[in-house]
């Protein structure tokens, strides 16, 4: 028997039906009746946040598939909202032999998720909005594709994961390194490690860049097209400046909020959510986290941007494995065992403004023979999944598992935030991954959550 380990830790026979496949949707008719791409059978999708990552990745990937239809978009910047509508309209224009101008627009996500005709949503907003929007969406009965990282804080991530479980909805985290497209090398690396091809795994090195500091940015008038109060969301009030938000003259440029701690933690979550997720996959620690974390980092002393720069952090897991994350390593993940090592990295970027991947082969090992190894029928076979959005659409139809469900996404994000907490405190921290609390450190536990502004808190 071939053993297949799914993204949720369940074990099934290859080819067996998983999940409650017979469950039906209000707007989805079985393909056997009308065909998979018949209008009545398409998955109706709303896109929340239609900037750089949505247009360049999330909506772009969904638009490849004729069994899904983006019917509505939402953005707090009406310029981007209009551009998002035009982007989707252009993708569908002429497909049925006539012009298409049917994409609905919303400037409040609550209106979009209240639409009973929408089955699922893409959430491609800044990081600080992820958890709240995901919670509201699943409670409204929507399946969710959620851009990583899962949350701004560990406390928010726990609320999100629990809400998804209670709702019974499907949530896929945008951890696209798990899919066979575009980078099958990550699956291959983890499968080799899990089957002992480098001996007992002892240590993992993760290469992540830091972010540069920036100049001072004086207050500016809030553009009439931007609902800035709602854009700030749960975070504290702060004066508007374009460098804090996103460029007004470009949708594709890298936005400034990525480098402001008010809205995220910097590269430790921005790319760390990807690489730590893969590390956990290879370490077989997807549903837990480290028990000890320590390290140092440099933070800017001037300017608007204040996320971490150069850093080095360390972690120890209950099974004795250790991890080091630093920009001194090549961008990627190196698994080190008693009998050798495997290094894996990307072979391209998601968007043009992403930091470059390591200038190295995407999959290398201490001995080339390791990479030629055949995984036999009786060994661990990690579940192979298609591109992350396709995997999500398939799961919506079958009610089966996704490759990066809410709990796994939360654990990867929370581990990133543990490393960030070590950077901020500068001391060795002990962590209980079951209780999700620091042991004997009230000051560190105070960083598990942040105060949330009235009207924007997770209810």
Q: 94: pLDDT confidence band, cut at 50, 70 and 90? A: confident
Dihedral sign for Cα atoms in the order 423, 358, 179, 86: positive
Distance CA 182, CA 190 (A): 16
Which residue from 153, 150, 152, 278 is spatially nearest to 206, judged by alpha carbons? Answer: 278
pLDDT over 70 at 341, yes or no:
yes
pLDDT over 80 at 36, yes or no:
no
* 8 Å CB contact between 208 and 275: yes
The more confident residue out of 396 and 97 is 396
* 8 Å CB contact between 209 and 271: yes
What angle in degrees, to the nearest 10, is found between the helix axes of 185-194 and 272-283?
30
**pLDDT tens sequence across 102-144:** 999 999 999 999 999 999 999 999 999 999 999 999 999 999 9
Which of these ranges, 98-112, 148-162, 331-345, 347-361, has the smallest mean pLDDT? 347-361
Longest dimension (CA), the chain: 66
Strand partners, 429: 293
Q: 16: pLDDT confidence band, cut at 50, 70 and 90? A: very low
| pLDDT at residue 95, rounded to an integer | 82
The more confident residue out of 26 and 294 is 294
CA atoms within 13 A on the CB side of 292: 8
Which of these ranges, 25-34, 162-171, 219-228, has the smallest mean pLDDT? 25-34
Which of these ranges, 177-191, 284-298, 355-369, has the smallest mean pLDDT? 355-369
**Gyration radius of the chain over CA positions:** 22
**At a CB cut-off of 8 Å and minimum separation 6, what does 126 contact?**
49, 231, 255, 257, 258, 263, 264
pLDDT over 60 at 25, yes or no:
no
Q: 176: pLDDT confidence band, cut at 50, 70 and 90? A: very high
* 8 Å CB contact between 313 and 298: no
**pLDDT tens sequence across 233-271:** 999 999 999 999 999 999 989 999 999 999 999 999 999
What angle in degrees, to the nearest 10, is found between the helix axes of 154-167 and 406-425?
170
DSSP 195: T
pLDDT over 80 at 358, yes or no:
no
Stretch 62-88: mean pLDDT, rounded?
97
| pLDDT at residue 459, rounded to an integer | 78
Dihedral sign for Cα atoms in the order 413, 193, 180, 332: positive
pLDDT over 60 at 48, yes or no:
yes
Dihedral sign for Cα atoms in the order 348, 353, 354, 356: positive
Alpha helices in 73-126 (DSSP H): 78-92, 109-113
Distance CA 169, CA 10 (A): 17
């Amino acid at each position: 028997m071939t053993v297949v380990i799914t993204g949720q830790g369940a074990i099934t026979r290859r080819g067996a039906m998983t999940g409650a496949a017979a469950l039906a949707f209000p707007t989805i008719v079985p393909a056997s009746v009308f065909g998979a791409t018949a209008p009545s059978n398409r998955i109706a999708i709303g896109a929340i946040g239609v900037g750089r990552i949505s247009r360049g990745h999330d909506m772009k990937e969904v638009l490849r598939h004729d069994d899904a239809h983006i019917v509505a978009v939402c953005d707090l910047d009406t310029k981007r909202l209009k551009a998002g509508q035009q982007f989707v309209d252009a993708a569908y224009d002429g497909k049925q032999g006539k012009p298409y101008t049917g994409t609905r627009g919303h400037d409040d996500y609550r209106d979009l998720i209240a639409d009973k005709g929408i089955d699922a949503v893409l959430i491609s907003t800044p990081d600080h909005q992820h958890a709240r929007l995901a919670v509201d969406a699943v409670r409204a009965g929507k399946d969710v594709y959620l851009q990583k990282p899962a949350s701004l804080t560990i406390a928010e991530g726990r609320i999100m994961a629990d809400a998804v479980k209670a709702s019974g909805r499907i949530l896929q985290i945008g951890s696209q390194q798990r899919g066979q497209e575009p980078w099958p090398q990550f699956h291959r690396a983890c499968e080799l490690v899990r089957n002992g091809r480098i001996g007992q795994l002892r240590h993992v090195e993760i290469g992540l860049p830091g972010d540069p500091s920036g100049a001072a940015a004086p207050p500016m008038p809030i553009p009439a097209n931007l609902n800035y109060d709602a854009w700030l969301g749960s975070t504290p009030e702060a004066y508007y400046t374009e460098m804090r938000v996103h460029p007004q003259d470009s949708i594709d440029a890298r936005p400034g909020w990525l480098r402001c701690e008010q809205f995220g933690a910097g590269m430790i979550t921005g790319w760390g959510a990807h690489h730590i997720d893969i590390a956990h996959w290879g370490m077989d620690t997807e549903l837990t986290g480290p028990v000890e974390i320590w390290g140092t980092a440099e933070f800017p002393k001037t300017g608007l941007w204040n996320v971490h720069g150069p850093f080095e952090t360390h972690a120890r897991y209950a099974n004795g494995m250790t991890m080091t994350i630093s920009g001194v390593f090549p961008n990627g993940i190196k698994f080190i065992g008693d009998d050798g090592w495997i290094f894996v990295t990307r072979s391209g970027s998601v968007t043009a403004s992403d930091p470059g991947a390591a200038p190295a082969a995407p999959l290398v090992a201490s001995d080339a023979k390791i990479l030629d190894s055949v995984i036999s029928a009786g060994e661990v076979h990690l579940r192979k999944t298609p591109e992350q959005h396709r995997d999500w659409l398939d799961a919506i139809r079958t009610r089966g598992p996704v490759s990066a469900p809410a709990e796994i996404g939360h654990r990867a994000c929370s581990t990133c935030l543990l490393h960030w907490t070590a950077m901020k405190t500068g001391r060795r921290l002990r962590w209980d991954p079951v209780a999700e609390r620091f042991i004997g450190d009230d000051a560190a536990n105070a960083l598990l959550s942040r105060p949330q502004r009235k009207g924007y808190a997770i209810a």
